[in-house]
């Protein structure tokens, strides 16, 4: 009963903020960017809560905690310093200034105006829309698995209810409602993660005792590896760190947070706040997940002997998305489970709102408006965005209703394609006049091509023997996570190389852009 009361109060607050912010969402700038007038605290929390969702807390913490033990904490540290601190320092102010000078509201619009190409805008808008869908579905998936476990509510009902709630407050209040809700949700996440980590360690007799017990586990891993600094598989651990940390530099829903910051001082403040937030939330989630094997087992005999929860298996492997829910149910009292439900709901709602807003605004501003011309007034654009939010939510729900799709697989494909395509031309395009349209187009082709090609070969089950052989290598070539990391690294190398052998044809146009952006310092 306590869980339901906490949940109802939380949902009422979220909806209240959405309706309160209606006055800020009447035009395109207000609906998409909150009028470009948000401070460091609000933007930092918006960045952090969009970064971390049920995908991290349920999917990734469960899977990588199981595979790497406490060494999974390195993922959280990478998220804090590579995925949060460095983007704010390197990209933050340059993105704010250049997008304001270019009057760009979305990432595809940035590519159009920076590289003077409408084709780049169209292609990048399609990439955004297509590859944000699996990411959104993965968030619904993770959120619903926790609700199913904690509240005994059917998986399908959870997904549909969360989708409806997200749609209502984003459609009503736009970016401002999302940003204010993100701040509230961020506070819940900070307190909730801290409480959960303490409860998990306390259940095992403290940190030292938990580490000792973890080292005794030999089910599928060598003894005394799950409790070590780099774990049983440091090579593949590095792939996860790269994908989940470097990926934020090229994800439109993350980078577009910098568009809305009001000044340079807010960027400086935001860099510190977002890093601390990531250390607590991501570091705490992966650290907690590292002890998952102390609460669950895939071996019925071991589970019976130790009293651990029997984890579901599929094809001989644990169903990773079920590990953290089972772990929390075993470790936490009812009141704390209620807080965790709101914690994961907070993390997921903030990410979902950011994703649907990014996708709908991209389609409207970058694909529909250019083809409608002057008929597309500000009022009509906002109306179309609201309609597309519903459309986007429905598609994501349909995908998420397939409970056999792993959260980590969907997220890896999404991040690999988006960051693989966008990271290099966005990053280099902010700093260098020499990056060409051809290099930008080449990055789109390579990023999407590597990710989709890998998915066809390894994730669809078309070549089982090849997949088995690739997965057996020290560096798991069948992993979509490693494929996504590779896509980012390859395009970071390819873009400057392609720019060396091609020419910037509109030098006067590019020179003017950089001349107008004198506020970089």
**Helical packing angle, 264-289 and 155-203, nearest 10°:** 80
- DSSP secondary structure of 397-440: HHHHT-TTS-HHHHHHHHHHHHHHHHHHHHHHHHH-S---HHHH
Asked if residue 102 belongs to a domain, the reply is yes
C-alpha dihedral (350, 62, 340, 149), degrees to nearest 10? 110
Per-residue burial over 331-349, b = 16 or more CB atoms within 10 Å of its CB, e = otherwise = bbeeebbbbbbbbbbbbbb
Give me the tens of pLDDT residue by residue for the chain, a chain 521 residues long: 666 777 777 778 777 776 776 665 555 555 655 555 566 777 888 788 778 876 787 778 888 999 999 999 999 999 999 999 999 999 999 999 999 888 888 889 999 999 999 999 999 988 988 888 777 777 766 666 666 666 677 767 777 777 787 777 677 766 666 677 677 777 877 887 888 888 888 888 999 999 999 988 887 788 889 999 999 999 999 999 999 999 999 998 889 888 878 888 888 999 999 999 999 989 999 999 999 888 888 888 877 887 787 887 776 678 777 788 777 777 777 667 767 776 666 666 667 777 777 777 777 877 777 777 667 777 777 788 888 888 877 877 776 676 555 555 777 888 899 999 999 999 999 999 999 999 999 999 999 999 999 999 988 778 889 999 998 888 999 999 999 999 999 999 999 999 999 988 889 999 998 888 775 55
For residues 394 and 298, give the distance between their C-alpha atoms in angstroms, rounded to a whole number: 35
Hey, what long-range contacts does 1-7 have (CB within 8 A, 24 or more apart)? 2/334, 2/335, 2/338, 3/150, 3/151, 3/334, 3/337, 3/338, 3/341, 4/151, 5/338, 6/338, 6/339, 6/341, 6/342, 7/338, 7/341, 7/342, 7/345
388 assigned to some structural domain: yes
The closest of 190, 352, 196, 346 to 279, measured between CA atoms, is 190
Give the chain's length.
Answer: 521
Domain of 43: which CATH number?
Answer: 1.20.1730.10
Asked whether residue 20 is domain-assigned, the answer is: no
pLDDT of residue 346: 64
Percentages helix, strand, coil for the chain, rounded to the nearest 5? 80, 0, 15
Question: Is 219 among the domain residues?
Answer: yes
Task: Tell me how far apart the alpha carbons of residues 460 and 475 are, in angstroms, rounded to a whole number.
Answer: 20
Q: Is residue 230 part of a domain?
A: yes
The one-character DSSP state at 308 is P
3-state SS of 65-120 is HHHHHHHHHHHHHHHHHHHHHHHHHHHHHHHHHHHHHHCCCCHHHHHHHHHCCHHH
Show Cβ contacts of residue 209 under 8 Å, excluding neighbours closer than 6 positions.
Answer: none
Please give the helix or strand (H or E) that residue 310 lies within, else none.
strand 309-310
Taking Cα atoms as reference points, which of 281, 242, 289 lies closest to residue 47? 281
pLDDT score at 424:
97
If one counts the domains in the chain, the total is: 1
Q: What's the confidence (pLDDT) of residue 50?
A: 78
Instruction: Determine the pLDDT at residue 190.
Output: 83
Q: Which domain holds residue 262?
A: 2-10+38-520
Q: Is residue 448 part of a domain?
A: yes
- Identify the pLDDT of residue 79: 96
Q: Does the residue 24 lie in any domain?
A: no
């Amino acid at each position: 009963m306590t869980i339901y009361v906490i949940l109802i109060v939380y949902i009422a607050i979220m909806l209240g903020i959405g309706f309160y912010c209606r006055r800020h969402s009447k035009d395109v700038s207000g609906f998409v960017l909150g009028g470009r007038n948000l401070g460091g605290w609000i933007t930092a929390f918006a960045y952090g809560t969009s970064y971390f969702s049920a995908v991290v807390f349920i999917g990734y913490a469960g899977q990588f905690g199981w595979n790497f033990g406490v060494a999974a904490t390195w993922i959280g540290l990478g998220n804090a310093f590579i995925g949060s601190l460095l983007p704010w320092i390197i990209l933050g102010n340059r993105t704010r200034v250049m997008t304001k000078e270019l009057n760009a509201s979305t990432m595809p619009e940035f590519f159009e105006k920076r590289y003077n190409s409408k084709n780049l805008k169209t292609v990048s808008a399609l990439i955004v829309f297509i590859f944000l869908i699996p990411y959104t579905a993965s968030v619904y998936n993770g959120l619903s698995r926790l609700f199913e476990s904690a509240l005994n509510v059917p998986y399908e009902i959870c997904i549909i209810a969360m989708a409806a709630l997200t749609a209502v407050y984003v459609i009503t209040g736009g970016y401002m409602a999302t940003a204010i809700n993100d701040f509230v949700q961020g506070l819940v996440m900070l307190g909730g993660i801290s409480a959960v980590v303490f409860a998990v360690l306390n259940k095992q007799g403290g940190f030292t005792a938990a580490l000792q017990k973890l080292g005794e586990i030999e089910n599928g891993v060598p003894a005394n590896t799950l409790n070590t600094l780099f774990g049983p598989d440091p090579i593949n651990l590095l792939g996860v760190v790269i994908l989940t940390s470097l990926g934020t530099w090229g994800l439109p829903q993350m980078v577009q947070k910098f568009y809305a910051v009001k000044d340079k001082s807010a960027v400086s403040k935001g860099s510190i706040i977002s890093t601390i937030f990531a250390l607590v939330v991501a570091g705490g989630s992966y650290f907690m997940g590292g002890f998952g094997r102390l609460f669950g087992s895939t071996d019925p005999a071991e589970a019976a002997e130790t009293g651990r929860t029997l984890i579901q298996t599929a094809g001989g492997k644990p169903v990773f998305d079920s590990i953290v829910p089972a772990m929390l149910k075993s470790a936490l009292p009812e009141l704390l489970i209620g807080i965790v439900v709101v914690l994961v709901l907070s993390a997921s709602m903030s990410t979902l709102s950011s994703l649907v807003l990014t996708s709908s605004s991209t389609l409207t501003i970058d694909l529909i408006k250019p083809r409608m011309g002057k008929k597309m007034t500000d009022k009509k654009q906002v109306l179309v965005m609201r309609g597309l939010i519903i459309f986007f939510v429905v598609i994501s729900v349909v995908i998420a209703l397939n409970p056999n799709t792993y959260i980590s697989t969907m997220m890896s494909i999404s991040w690999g394609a988006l960051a693989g395509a966008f990271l290099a031309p966005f990053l280099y395009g902010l700093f260098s006049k020499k990056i060409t349209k051809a290099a930008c187009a080449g990055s789109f082709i390579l990023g999407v091509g590597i990710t989709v090609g890998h998915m066809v070969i390894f994730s669809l089950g078309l070549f089982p023997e090849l997949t088995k052989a690739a997965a057996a290598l020290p560096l798991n070539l069948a992993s979509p996570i490693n494929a996504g990391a590779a896509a980012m690294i390859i395009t970071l190398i390819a873009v400057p190389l392609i720019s060396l052998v091609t020419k910037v044809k509109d030098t006067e146009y590019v020179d003017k852009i950089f001349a107008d952006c004198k506020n970089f310092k």
